[in-house]
């Protein structure tokens, strides 16, 4: 999408375009390297930003700091800083996307004087369930690969087959290294294959499972301890489940008819779990 906007979009000269990546501190190293490779190969400037707490008030939206590939957090610092203000993230409190992505990017946009601008999101035309035209109009979103240049998985696959690099992670791993939005099947597969990734999540669980931020109201519907994962499962619960036989997640990153890059949404759902939203900017 980015390449097309910069090089083939007929209306390109009428738009000022900035490219922003919001790093949560829990992105896989392969994701950071991929963005850095895009910068070099396509000759573009990517603005790398990270969350900074806005201490103005309990409800003040995130501020930001500008980093780069070398200085970007790799130990979850922005993520934990966000939880010190808003608490544990999970299905009931999905504020990581809001603060680490949306509001951090908005903070950068405001810092350069942008107030009313459009955000381009790479949802394709063959993903109709992800296209929300009402929300797009309300929030100034653009879906270039669905409207301006209708594009399918095969088109994307062909494009990346011609590039000297690609995103070298398995389709079920995703960009966030142990995202709580993933299906349990994927989480168990990751836990079995790369248990070291879980250390940070275990540490955060212990630190924040009983932490109630000052502005959060606790009522009869909110029960401690808080957990990242659905069904109030702990990281260790997922590890233990992964020790038993289960249907492992499949890597579809290089299947002929599959999108080579990882899907933002977790389409591998069952009746009890599955990702309900992506980390796109809304």
Using CA atoms, how far apart are residues 36 and 168, in angstroms rounded to an integer?
A: 13
Q: Give yes or no for a cis peptide into 225 (omega within 30° of 0).
A: yes
Say if residues 4 and 144 touch (Cβ distance below 8 Å): yes
Give residue 191's pLDDT.
96
Using CA atoms, how far apart are residues 205 and 80, in angstroms rounded to an integer?
A: 11
Tokens 């924040």 locate to 208
Say if residues 74 and 32 touch (Cβ distance below 8 Å): yes
List Cβ neighbours of 51 (8 Å cut-off, separation of 6 or more): 22, 24, 62, 63, 64, 78, 79, 81, 82, 99, 100, 103, 104
Residues of the chain with pLDDT under 70: 216-222, 253-282
Give residue 171's pLDDT.
84
Give residue 27's pLDDT.
97
pLDDT digit string, tens, across residues 103-138: 999 999 999 999 999 999 999 999 999 899 999 999
CB atoms within 10 A of CB 253: 19
pLDDT digit string, tens, across residues 210-221: 998 877 665 556
> In Å, what is the CA distance from 112 to each residue of 100, 106, 179?
19, 10, 31
174 conformational bin, left if phi > 0, alpha if psi -120 to 50, beta if neither: left
Of 232, 238, 233, 229, the C-alpha closest to 193 is 238
Using CA atoms, how far apart are residues 278 and 174, in angstroms rounded to an integer?
A: 11
Residue 107 burial (C-beta neighbours within 10 Å; 0-12, 13-18, 19+): buried
Of 137, 182, 198, the C-alpha closest to 274 is 182
């Amino acid at each position: 999408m980015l390449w097309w906007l910069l090089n083939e979009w007929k209306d390109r000269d009428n738009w000022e375009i900035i490219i922003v990546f919001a790093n949560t501190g829990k992105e896989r190293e392969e994701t950071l390297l991929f963005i850095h490779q895009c910068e070099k190969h396509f000759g573009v400037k990517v603005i790398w930003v990270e969350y900074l707490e806005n201490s103005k008030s309990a409800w003040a939206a995130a501020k930001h700091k500008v980093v780069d590939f070398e200085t970007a957090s790799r130990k979850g610092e922005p993520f934990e800083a966000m939880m010190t203000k808003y608490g544990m993230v999970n299905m009931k409190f999905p504020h990581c996307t809001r603060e680490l992505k949306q509001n951090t990017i908005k903070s950068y946009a405001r810092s350069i004087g942008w107030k009313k601008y459009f955000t381009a999101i790479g949802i394709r035309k063959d993903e109709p369930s992800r296209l929300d035209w009402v929300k797009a109009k309300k929030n100034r979103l653009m879906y270039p690969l669905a409207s301006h240049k209708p594009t399918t998985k095969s088109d994307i696959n062909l494009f990346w087959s011609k590039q000297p690099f690609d995103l070298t992670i398995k389709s079920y791993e995703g960009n966030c290294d142990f995202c709580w939005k993933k299906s349990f099947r994927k989480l168990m597969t990751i836990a079995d294959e790369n248990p070291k990734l879980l250390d940070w999540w275990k540490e955060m669980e212990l630190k924040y499972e009983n932490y109630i931020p000052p502005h959060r109201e606790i009522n009869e519907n909110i029960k401690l301890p808080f957990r990242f994962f659905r069904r109030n499962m702990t990281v260790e619960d997922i590890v233990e489940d992964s020790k038993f036989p289960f249907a492992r997640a499949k890597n579809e990153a290089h299947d002929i008819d599959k999108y080579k890059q990882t899907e933002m949404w977790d389409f591998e759902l069952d009746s009890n779990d599955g990702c309900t939203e992506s980390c796109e900017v809304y």
